[in-house]
Amino acid sequence: MSSARNVTRFWEWGRKIICVGRNYADHAKELKNAIPKEPVLFLKPPSAYVKEGSPILVPQYSSNLHHEVELGVVIGKGGKAIPRTSAMDHVAGYALCLDMTARDIQDECKSKGLPWTLAKAFDTSCPVSEFVPKEKIPDPGNVRIWLKVNDQLRQDGSTSQMIFSIPYLISYISEIITLEEGDLILTGTPKGVSSVQEHDELLAGIEDILCMTFRVDRQ
Amino acid sequence: MSSARNVTRFWEWGRKIICVGRNYADHAKELKNAIPKEPVLFLKPPSAYVKEGSPILVPQYSSNLHHEVELGVVIGKGGKAIPRTSAMDHVAGYALCLDMTARDIQDECKSKGLPWTLAKAFDTSCPVSEFVPKEKIPDPGNVRIWLKVNDQLRQDGSTSQMIFSIPYLISYISEIITLEEGDLILTGTPKGVSSVQEHDELLAGIEDILCMTFRVDRQ
Ligand SMILES: [Mg+2]
Ligand SMILES: [Mg+2]
Ligand SMILES: [Mg+2]
């Protein structure tokens, strides 16, 4: 079956999306969260993937859908308890991702001690770009990611601001959850998250390496 | 690729495990949780699957791992916004499942408003039986599920005690998260959850239709 699987189309067959919350200090602060001592992990299902050409849908139950632009790390070689020193050998490449978040629902989940599923895992909650081969981003720990809503710049950060580095995250996650080929790790968002509305146009990029656009619609 | 996919081995290629919390009133009460007005959903990744012959591993960070025996519903035909009346057409069969839960970590996540990932999504957190074809359980809304630890009966409930029925859950979930072939829904646990230790032997069954055994080990 592995011959049928092409890592450049990981969203078609990859089985996990592992997201890291609060991995940029300035974003943790803007949401009034403490700086975490260890990575905050949550999951999206592969049904959350959406590609350019299809819209991001605001869930019917939310009236405050936020964009979070994030660098995604695509796993090329699975593993368990991967040492930090060899973590990058497990990376096939990258993707630009949006961690779409129903902020009103997330606030409710947080205050009630409930899982974040409704806030984070709904259909179209994970827009992703084309696959970016590893060679195109020689230093993923120092790359600019940015997002505009209707031509206004809202997020503009560098992955150098991450609290936990990509090798640290791969090692930490794989101690708990075995990584497999085609898995995607969302590495957290810099500051500037804000609400999107029906008909908004999102334009996001990794430096000038890649950009993607998504339109927002009501469900 | 679909020719290579056999739903009776859903754990090898299925992409989602959607779990329902607090779906039995007596279990909600034993954990001092309110009876939910709508299903509480959380996710496990497919890397959580473990089959008979391999042990359940207590995560290093937990000292209170609980068993929760649950009826699993295996999706045969995907869909979105599936009406309750046709929901059962999307079911291929069932599996007996354990929703292994690091209760100490879950309590911490709940009190801090954090996602439940560390408590619910670690490797081996989803032991599953063989696939049970739909025909073998003509009334999945009234079937006995039970679990013994070292020959002592700990859980013994009927799916007739579920707050939200299987058709209700399929319809509710698929409004938010598109269901795909090979997905698994864990429908919640009856009362009697309790701690397991290294070397414990778990025996669980669906009436006298099927049983499975798992040994507990330290990671
Ligand atoms: Mg995020
Ligand atoms: Mg979760
Ligand atoms: Mg459960």
Nearest ligand, CA A98: 1
Report the C-alpha gap between B185 and B128 in whole angstroms: 12
Instruction: Please name the residues in contact with B21: beta carbons below 8 A apart, sequence gap of 6 or more.
Output: A115, B36, B39, B40, B41, B42, B188
Report the C-alpha gap between B155 and B196 in whole angstroms: 13
Report the C-alpha gap between B64 and B46 in whole angstroms: 23
- Residue A89: the pLDDT is 98
Please list all protein residues whose beta carbon sits less than 5 angstroms from ligand 3, which is an ion: B 68, 99, 189
Residue of B nearest to A13 (CA): B15
CB A36 within 8 A of CB A163: yes
Chain-centroid distance of CA A205 in Å reads 13
Instruction: Please list the pLDDT of chain B residue by residue as tens digits (219 residues).
Output: 445 689 999 999 999 999 999 999 998 889 888 889 999 999 999 999 999 999 999 999 999 999 999 999 999 999 999 999 999 999 999 999 999 999 999 999 999 999 999 999 999 999 999 999 999 999 999 999 999 999 999 999 999 999 999 999 999 999 999 999 999 999 999 999 999 999 999 999 999 999 999 999 998
Pick the residue of A50, A114, A122, A219 with the most B CBs within 10 A to test the interface with B by mutation: A114
pLDDT in tens, B6-58: 999 999 999 999 999 999 999 888 988 888 999 999 999 999 999 999 999 99
Domain of B169, CATH number, reads: 3.90.850.10
- Does position A2 have pLDDT exceeding 80, yes or no? no
Enumerate the residues of chain B whose CB falls inside 8 A of the CB of residue A175: 60
Is A177 close to B46, i.e. CB distance below 8 A? no
CB A21 within 8 A of CB A119: no
Nearest to B178 among A47, A111, A175 (CB): A47
Enumerate the residues of chain A whose CB falls inside 8 A of the CB of residue B4: 1, 4
Enumerate the residues of chain A whose CB falls inside 8 A of the CB of residue B59: 176
Pick the residue of B42, B172, B186 with the most A CBs within 10 A to test the interface with A by mutation: B42
Q: Which of A158, A129, A135, A47 is nearest to B16 (CA)?
A: A47
Residue of A nearest to B182 (CA): A15
Please list all protein residues whose beta carbon sits less than 5 angstroms from ligand 1, which is an ion: A 68, 99, 189
- Give me the number of domains chain A comprises: 1
Residues of B with CB under 8 A from a CB of A: 1, 4, 13, 15-16, 18, 21, 40-48, 59-60, 80, 109-111, 113-118, 120-123, 175-180
| pLDDT band at A4; cut points 50, 70, 90 | low
Query: Which residue segment(s) compose the domain that A77 sits in?
Result: 2-218
- Residue B4: the pLDDT is 66
- Residue A18: the pLDDT is 98
Q: What is the DSSP letter of A32?
A: T
pLDDT in tens, A66-90: 999 999 999 999 999 999 999 999 9
- Which pair of tokens denotes residue A45? 């299902």
Is A15 close to B122, i.e. CB distance below 8 A? no
Kindly report the number of other CB atoms within 10 A of residue A158's CB atom: 15
